[in-house]
Amino acid sequence: MTKPNVYLRFLNLVEAFNPKSNIRGLDSTENQLLNSIMLDDNEGRSVFVGDLIGQHFLGSQATLHGRIKNLCRLGYIELIIQSDARRKRVMPTRLAYKRFDMLSLCLWRAAKEIPRVANS
């Protein structure tokens, strides 16, 4: 008997989620940036635009800057100008938290609704 794949079920639940949702509105780079922002925010760490642009493994500075602008445009983050106007703090918005709540619910449902296989 093949074990059910919770992650594939999770992906199906995300795809089936309300088509009006912005859940599909992010490309992989934007998704990784938002994940990074949310993880830092969850740990109580401040995130600045420069920190995100320094993540060269995700893309060039120009690419990352464009993705940060898109996350702002979509309403997932806001940029707060600091006393040193050259620095901008990145803050997740309610929409970002709502997105992660929805993803958490999909993951919980995917894991809950798959029957447990004995001796697996």
CB 68 within 8 A of CB 92: no
- CA-closest candidate to residue 36, choices 58, 21, 17: 58
Entry pTM: 0.80
In tens, the pLDDT along 98-114 reads 999 988 888 888 888 76
In tens, the pLDDT along 10-57 reads 888 877 765 555 555 788 899 999 999 999 999 999 999 999 999 888
Which domains can be identified in the chain, with CATH numbers?
1-9+47-113 (1.10.10.10)
